[in-house]
Amino acid sequence: MNDDLRQMVYQSLADVFGIMFYIPIEPLADQPPREMWESEKHYVEARIAINCGDGSSFQAMFFFPEDLARNIAINFMGIDEEAVDEEKVIDAVREAANMAVGGLLGKIDPEAKCQLGIPSATMSTGFSPGGLLDAPGACVYETEFGYLWIDFGNLDRIG
């Protein structure tokens, strides 16, 4: 992903996470040290398909540390921590992925040649960013609740 697109991705995500969820994010210039991301045991994985007008498609994949996902649910739904359950967390991260990718597509695909699929999400205990470390569409953001890992796949093909 080129630097201009990477900056556009960050601005779009910072808007969504800051305004909708009250959670600031900061991009990392380099991958975090292994001991930093290995300390996270539980993640919530969200996926959303991007279907382009030329018949091609790809997925954006989000890997939220469970604490981040729970706080997205709390802040977005305006509920107490005690009211958060797995279903609310799943709903919140699906909506987060939808808003993040939808907002970004609005900027890089002004002619709306691409469409979003319906996001899915699942709880995960086996996430390791090993394969993401070298993926050209991968981004890592630091939050107060852990590292948010995102793989935008072939996003650079749009536009």
CATH code (residue 95) = 3.40.1550.10
Task: Convert the pLDDT of each residue in 107-159 to its tens digit.
Answer: 888 888 889 999 999 998 777 777 677 777 788 999 999 889 999 876 666 65
How many independent structural domains does the chain possess? 1
Task: Convert the pLDDT of each residue in 39-94 to its tens digit.
Answer: 567 899 999 999 988 888 889 999 999 999 999 999 999 999 999 999 999 999 99
The token pair at 9 is 């991705």
64 contacts 94 by C-beta, under 8 angstroms:
no
User: Among the listed ranges 3-7, 28-32, 144-148, which one has the minimum average pLDDT value?
Assistant: 28-32
Domain that holds residue 34: 3-157
Task: List 44's β-bridge partners, or say none.
Answer: 64, 123
Residue 38 CB neighbour total at 10 angstroms: 11
50 contacts 100 by C-beta, under 8 angstroms:
no
Residue with token string 């699906």: 94
